[in-house]
Amino acid sequence: MTVTLNGTKMDHGPARTPKVLEVQGLRVHYATPLGDVIAVNEVNLNVYEGETLGLVGESGCGKSTLAMSILRLVQPPGRIVSGQVQIHGIDVIALSEAELRQVRWSQIALIPQGAMNSLNPVMRVRDQIAEAIETHQGRRPPQELKERILRLLAMVGLPNRVYTMYPHELSGGMKQRVCIAMAIALTPSLIIADEPTSALDVVVQRVVAQTLLDVKRTLGVSMILIGHDMGLMAQLVDRIAVMYAGNIVEVAPVKDIFAEPLHPYTQLLLASIPSVKQRKPLVVTEGLTHDLRRPPPGCIFQLRCPFVMDKCREVVPPLRELRPNHYAACHLY
Amino acid sequence: MSQPLLEIRDATKIYRGGFLRPGQQLVALQNFNLTIPEKPATITAIAGESGSGKTTLANLILGSISLTSGQILYQGQDIATLSRRQKLEYARQVQAIFQDPYAVYNPFYRVKHIFDLVINNFKLAPSKQAARDLIEEALKMVGMRGEEVLEKYPHQLSGGQRQRMMVARAYLLKPRLIVADEPVSMVDASLRAMILDIMLRLRDQQNISFLYITHDLSTAYQVCDDIYVLYQGSIAEKGDTVSVIENPKHPYVQLLIESVPVPDPNQKWNTDVTLPSEEELRSQVDTGCRFYPRCPYHMDRCLVKQPPLYQIGSGDHQAACYLYDPAMPSAQAGLVENQAATDTK
């Protein structure tokens, strides 16, 4: 078994592959006493069938909020202000709560950040997975349920004995794999995984990453992987969307973005990857600089951009296709 | 050679009791040796996965737990035998920075409070103005200004700012050694570089040594002078960071380095890693090499006795693995070494 992705298609022209998810003009605000924080600003995003999309950006850039709003799970004071989220053509934003419950988990599954710590400590693994299945599909015959759960555990590479174990008996990597098993329990067409391997050791991280890839291959699901580790993204995803302060600044196939990052922020992200192959000087930069309640007019990245021009302070650069399938929002091009 | 700043001799820490079953023991650290020279200041990495004993080591050095056996010597004196006054001085000279910059602040106080506390505790300043000057100087070191941050509450600062404030607080005391337990694992890539850069500057300009505890080999590689890789409480490999990372010898360290994701989509992982089950991993091996269940090269003799550190090359690079036993038939050792080298490629 290998984790090579060379076999998968890199080209996702809209004409060829059907879309699983289509996000249009999505805007999410958080209400604060001093005005709204724009967490997600007019985001357009597509996920095609069978692809893994990486969503990267620093903490606070809105990537988790974007993921949560796709499932309409944004909690107050956050709210979806406008936009459309279509899953197989169904607009999630317009659904009633009851209809939405049908879509969640069976169409889109979420592995939230720190999922492994949200397992119920007093429930055996089998009961937690069974609960996820029965909540959505009603009571099942015990034998069928058991076989199904064991199949799910096998799919994420866990031995049968995990079936009767409690979460505290499992290591972090195993718990994370239980969460993946729960996410695929109802064979969704899209899995959103928020930092699925953070807080794990490198070797365990690699095992969990392999599990995700295997699951994706066997089930043919699409996936959105959220993270900030560009190294891990290079290994796992087909396309990358780079987010900065609520805006998507660049979207491209992973090979193109690593070969030729167009947006200055992406260039910065790639330059600051620590490597074990090459000892290089540190690239030091400031973090998020502007107040998210009052974004500057023009380009969102102007305060940190080394190439800032007068135009950047006035006109918002649109996300344009600068190379085939390679989109970036920058006035430089 | 003058007296080292910090020397750990044959340190062993065994946990008993608590939630463990009666008679059950957990060896967190075993026969650990470490030396940090007095001069020049160095950054020493302690690397390993969770449960390898890294944080136990930090707690031992900071004096919050005591050793089962062995000694920790600070400037030649055993820290277990310090007098009250000496203890206070030790607490000033050895500072700590922790992983979570969110948990270390009391949310009800303005951030100034963390500086006021240490200044009062160690009576660093005779007047308010002198205290303020000290704080400003420390903040300047980490690229911040007092008027911007001191009157704020912790929730108004970003994670990176908070972690820099913690470095400033440690620096305020003019320590000789800072124990940094995963200081960058919770901040973003761009801010990570900033904090590592501050560490380098403190080392070079202020002669402050660091014990950088991490599970991230890539950041250790970027900034550290020496590295100790722990596996389940014992040193697997130690030496000059560049030679250990670029030319790892212990099979565990080879596995670790191979598992760091390569930031190049054209260079995908091409091998499969499997983890043995938990109970096989933990304390199954009482004698002998603890990496035995996972080791691709395991031999019968690995089970008999834990391998000592064998010299690699001419520097201070050492690995605890029988593959490098000079008494091994040299042809065979060479063969395995070549095989190991090709595996990491």
User: Cβ A282–B222 below 8 Å, yes or no?
Assistant: yes
Q: A187-218 burial, b for 16+ CB within 10 Å, e for fewer?
A: ebbbbbbbbbbbbbbbbbbbbbbbbbbbbbee
Å from B220 to nearest chain A CA? 9
Rounded-to-integer distance, Cα A324 and Cα B330, Å: 56
User: Cβ A173–B158 below 8 Å, yes or no?
Assistant: no
Task: Tell me which chain A residue has its CA closest to the CA of residue B189.
Answer: A272
Tell me, what's the pLDDT at A321?
Answer: 92
Please name the residue that has the structure tokens 């380098």.
B200
Å from B16 to nearest chain A CA? 19
Mean pLDDT for chain B? Answer: 84
Identify the band that residue B305 occupies on the pLDDT scale cut at 50, 70 and 90: confident
Residue B312 resides in a domain = yes
Contacting residues of B for A283, CB less than 8 Å apart: 190, 193
Token output for A112? 């939230």
Task: Tell me which chain B residue has its CA closest to the CA of residue A161.
Answer: B277
Closest by CA to A255, choosing from A12, A1, A2, is A12
Q: B90-120 burial, b for 16+ CB within 10 Å, e for fewer?
A: bbbbbbbbbbebeebbeeeebbbebbeebbe
Token output for A104? 């969640």
B221 and B275 housed in the same domain? no
Give per-residue pLDDT as tens, B203-252. 999 999 999 998 888 889 989 999 999 998 899 999 999 999 999 999 99
- Residue scoring higher pLDDT (B162 or B100): B162
Query: Taking 80 as the threshold, does the pLDDT of residue B344 lie above it?
Result: no
Among B261, B277, B278, select the one facing A231 at the smallest CB separation: B261
Task: Tell me which chain A residue has its CA closest to the CA of residue B254.
Answer: A203
Tell me, what's the pLDDT at A11?
Answer: 41
CB A128 within 8 Å of CB A166 = no
CB A192 within 8 Å of CB A111 = yes
Closest by CA to A29, choosing from A3, A51, A62, is A62
Residue A191, H or E segment: strand A190-194
Bridge partners, B98 (sequence order) = none
Å from A103 to nearest chain B CA? 33
Among B50, B197, B255, select the one facing A282 at the smallest CB separation: B197
B209 and B279 housed in the same domain? no
Whole-prediction pTM = 0.81
**A-B contacts at Cβ under 8 angstroms:** 144
Amino acid at B219: T
B74 and B188 housed in the same domain? yes
DSSP B89: H
Tell me, what's the pLDDT at B282?
Answer: 52
Residue B160 resides in a domain = no
Tell me, what's the pLDDT at A149?
Answer: 93
Identify the band that residue B320 occupies on the pLDDT scale cut at 50, 70 and 90: very high
Tell me, what's the pLDDT at B338?
Answer: 47
Could you tell me how many residues make up chain B? 345
- Residue scoring higher pLDDT (A44 or A204): A44
B170 and B221 housed in the same domain? yes
**Of B197, B231, B265, which residue is a domain's last?**
B231
User: Cβ B49–A255 below 8 Å, yes or no?
Assistant: no
B215 and B325 housed in the same domain? no
CB A272 within 8 Å of CB A58 = no
B171 and B289 housed in the same domain? no
Å from A130 to nearest chain B CA? 24
Number of domains in chain B: 2
Closest by CA to A246, choosing from A65, A33, A23, A34, is A65
CB A209 within 8 Å of CB B268 = no
Among A169, A231, A255, select the one facing B263 at the smallest CB separation: A231
B180 and B326 housed in the same domain? no
Identify the band that residue B46 occupies on the pLDDT scale cut at 50, 70 and 90: very high
User: Cβ B270–A204 below 8 Å, yes or no?
Assistant: no
B218 and B258 housed in the same domain? no
SS3 B209: strand
> Which candidate in B202, B223, B269 is best for mutational testing of the A interface (most A CBs within 10 A)?
B269
User: Cβ B190–A201 below 8 Å, yes or no?
Assistant: no
> Which candidate in B144, B190, B241 is best for mutational testing of the A interface (most A CBs within 10 A)?
B190
pLDDT above 90 covers a percentage of chain B that reads: 33
Q: Which residues have CB under 8 Å from A118's CB, separation 6+? A: A112
Tell me, what's the pLDDT at A13?
Answer: 46
Please name the residue that has the structure tokens 């991280």.
A205
Q: How many CA atoms within 13 Å lie on the side-chain side of B1?
A: 9
Spell out the long-range contacts of A121-124 with Cβ–Cβ below 8 A and sequence spacing 24 or more: A121/A166, A121/A167, A121/A168, A122/A166, A123/A166, A123/A167, A124/A163, A124/A164, A124/A165, A124/A166
User: Cβ A258–B160 below 8 Å, yes or no?
Assistant: no
CB B104 within 8 Å of CB B186 = no
Contacting residues of A for B191, CB less than 8 Å apart: 58, 287
B101 and B170 housed in the same domain? yes
B299 and B210 housed in the same domain? no
- φ/ψ region of A138 (left if φ > 0, alpha if ψ in -120 to 50, else beta) reads left
Tell me, what's the pLDDT at B204?
Answer: 93
Rounded-to-integer distance, Cα B247 and Cα B39, Å: 27
Tell me, what's the pLDDT at B275?
Answer: 61
Å from B218 to nearest chain A CA? 5
Closest by CA to B212, choosing from A212, B203, A270, B162, is B203
Task: Tell me which chain B residue has its CA closest to the CA of residue A276.
Answer: B218
Tell me, what's the pLDDT at A203?
Answer: 82
Task: Tell me which chain B residue has its CA closest to the CA of residue A168.
Answer: B278
Residue B119 resides in a domain = no
Among B196, B218, B269, select the one facing A275 at the smallest CB separation: B218
Rounded-to-integer distance, Cα A13 and Cα B260, Å: 32
Query: Taking 80 as the threshold, does the pLDDT of residue A175 lie above it?
Result: yes
DSSP A269: H
B193 and B72 housed in the same domain? yes
For the domain that residue B44 is a member of, what is the CATH number? 3.40.50.300
Rg (CA), chain A: 20
CATH pick for A19-237 out of 3.40.190.10, 1.10.3720.10, 3.40.50.300, 3.40.50.1170: 3.40.50.300
- How far apart, in Å, are the Cα atoms of A43 and each of A27, A38, A66, A86, A242? 7, 11, 9, 13, 11
Please name the residue that has the structure tokens 């004409």.
A15
Q: How many CA atoms within 13 Å lie on the side-chain side of B340?
A: 23
Rounded-to-integer distance, Cα B59 and Cα B244, Å: 25
Token output for A325? 């399938």
Residue B171 resides in a domain = yes
Query: Taking 70 as the threshold, does the pLDDT of residue B309 lie above it?
Result: yes
User: Pairing between strand B94-97 and A326-328?
Assistant: unpaired
User: Cβ B191–A287 below 8 Å, yes or no?
Assistant: yes
Rounded-to-integer distance, Cα A270 and Cα A264, Å: 10
**What range defines the domain where residue B340 resides?**
253-344
Rounded-to-integer distance, Cα A315 and Cα A272, Å: 28
Give per-residue pLDDT as tens, B139-148. 988 888 888 8
Contacting residues of B for A177, CB less than 8 Å apart: none
Between vectors from CA B317 to CA B312 and to CA B319, what angle results, nearest 5°? Answer: 65
B71 and B19 housed in the same domain? yes
Residue B201 main-chain phi, psi, to 5 deg: -65, -40
Identify the band that residue A97 occupies on the pLDDT scale cut at 50, 70 and 90: confident
User: Cβ B257–A210 below 8 Å, yes or no?
Assistant: no
Residue B226 resides in a domain = yes
Residue B41 resides in a domain = yes
Worst-scoring range by mean pLDDT, A233-247, A285-299, B72-86?
A: A285-299
User: Cβ B261–A229 below 8 Å, yes or no?
Assistant: yes
Residue B305 resides in a domain = yes
Give per-residue pLDDT as tens, A37-94. 888 988 999 999 989 999 998 877 888 889 889 988 888 888 899 999 998 888 888 8
Contacting residues of A for B157, CB less than 8 Å apart: none
Query: Taking 90 as the threshold, does the pLDDT of residue B157 lie above it?
Result: no
Strands (E), chain B: 6-16, 25-36, 43-47, 69-74, 77-78, 94-97, 177-181, 209-214, 226-231, 234-240, 310-311, 318-319
Query: Taking 80 as the threshold, does the pLDDT of residue A327 lie above it?
Result: yes
User: Cβ B261–A234 below 8 Å, yes or no?
Assistant: yes
Contacting residues of A for B221, CB less than 8 Å apart: 274-276, 279
User: DSSP of A55-121, one letter per residue?
Assistant: EE--TTSSHHHHHHHHTT-PPTTEEEEEEEEEETTEEGGGS-HHHHHHHBTTTEEEE-TTGGGGS-T
Closest by CA to A262, choosing from A210, A216, A323, is A323
